[in-house]
Amino acid sequence: QISTPFNISLDFEIAPFFKRLVAYFLDLMIMVAYAVFMRYFLYSGLQLEGESAMGIDILLVSVPLLLYHLVFEIIFHGQSLGKMAMGIRVMSMDGGDPAISQYLLRWFFRVWEWPLVFSFVYPGFWIIYQLIIVGIFGIIVIIIIAVTAKNQRLGDLAANTAIVNTHIQSSIHDTVFMEITQKDYQVKFPQVLKLSDRDINTIKTVLNQTYKRNNFETAYRIAGRIKTVLGIESDMEVDLFLEQLIADYNYLATRE
């Protein structure tokens, strides 16, 4: 249960551990496949060697591997390729997409994996040593996930996020963004600018849940709360009212 900024709770299913584990190994396989392909291309295709080769290796292989989870989760709204395949995603504990600062915090707490990324640059025993270190820390992470109430690792606890189970395909329509193409668009609720991006994201999350479950109870409650806070009087259907708020916000915010 996640409490939104409007003091209304939303229910999400915590992602099962086996899904997180499979997603992790899928991502690892993708990263290894990328590293193998790029190194074959650099050393066998381009015949690179010497110190310059190591610098290019770090730039084109190690750095992308290092940023893989951060970049994918930001672009795809809490999902890496492995998480997409397993139908799970990162969600802020206020019910919306995490802020970039939250993604950064989660990524920073993956520091225990970073030595493995760079160990490929130095072959031999160094890789075995790093595998042992990463394995030990990996066991600690599993224990932390097992004992926390919402199955959060340290990065999730620090960033106030959780991994939830979802079968909804993420797209640009699941975010705050909504393209307004009407040239003569009329704003109905200018008060909406008093809300933040996170508030609008929460409204979008409520709408998604409303349509998915065909249950309008939460939508009625959050609409009533918004009307009280913003001083709005409207007899629009609750889903149309919330959609209008999102559209007005996008129209006004993009013209500031």
Task: Note the pLDDT tens digit of each residue in 19-76.
Answer: 999 999 999 889 888 888 888 888 777 776 766 677 777 788 888 988 999 999 999 9
Calculate mean pLDDT across residues 158-165: 91
Quick one: pLDDT at residue 167? Answer: 54
pLDDT of 136 over the 70 cut: yes
pLDDT-above-90 percentage for the chain: 19
pLDDT digit string (tens) for 12-24? 788 988 999 999 9
Q: How confident is the model at residue 139 (pLDDT cuts 50, 70, 90)?
A: confident
Q: Which residue has the higher pLDDT, 227 or 132?
A: 227
For 138, other C-beta atoms within 10 Å of its C-beta total: 15
Calculate mean pLDDT across residues 130-155: 84
Quick one: pLDDT at residue 89? Answer: 92
Quick one: pLDDT at residue 170? Answer: 40
Closest CA to 110 of 154, 143, 163, 145: 154
Q: Which residues of 2-21 are buried (b: 16+ CB within 10 A; e: fewer)?
A: bebbbebebebeebeeebbe
Q: Any idea what DSSP says for residue 47?
A: -
Quick one: pLDDT at residue 114? Answer: 72
Q: Phi and psi (nearest 5°) for 121?
A: -70, -30
pLDDT digit string (tens) for 85-114? 999 999 888 767 888 999 999 999 888 777
- Residue 16 neighbours by CB under 8 Å, 6+ apart: 165
Q: Which amino acid is at 60?
A: L
Global pTM reads: 0.63
Q: If residue 37 lies in a helix (H) or strand (E), which one and from where to where?
A: helix 17-39
